[in-house]
Amino acid sequence: MTSVPLDPKALSVADAARLLSRAGGRPVTEEMLREAVAAGLPLKAGDRIDIFALAAWLNRELAHARIPNQPASPDGAGTR
C-alpha cells in the first residue's frame, strides 16, 4: 500500500484532525476544527486547511482569548 504524502498547506479536515491529535498529545476532532472554521478560521479551496494559516489564526485568537472549548488553566490565568 502506497501512502500519499500530506500537503500541510491543503489538509482535509479529517487529516488535519489526525495530524494535530498525533502531534499535540491531545485529541483534536473534526468537530473542533469545524467550530474553528465557524469562528473564522479560513479554509482553502475544497474545504482544505492550511496548517500554517491555522497556527497564525490560533495565535491571533489566543491573543484575544476567543477560542471556543478551551479549558481554563489551573491558576485561572488567561481566562476572562
Task: Give the global pTM.
Answer: 0.73
CA-CA distance, 43 to 33, in Å (whole number)?
A: 11
Q: How confident is the model at residue 75 (pLDDT cuts 50, 70, 90)?
A: low
Per-residue pLDDT, averaged over 54-79, amounts to: 72
Q: How confident is the model at residue 73 (pLDDT cuts 50, 70, 90)?
A: low
Per-residue pLDDT, averaged over 58-75, amounts to: 71
Top-confidence residue, 31 or 25: 31
CA-CA distance, 74 to 9, in Å (whole number)?
A: 34
Per-residue pLDDT, averaged over 3-16, amounts to: 93
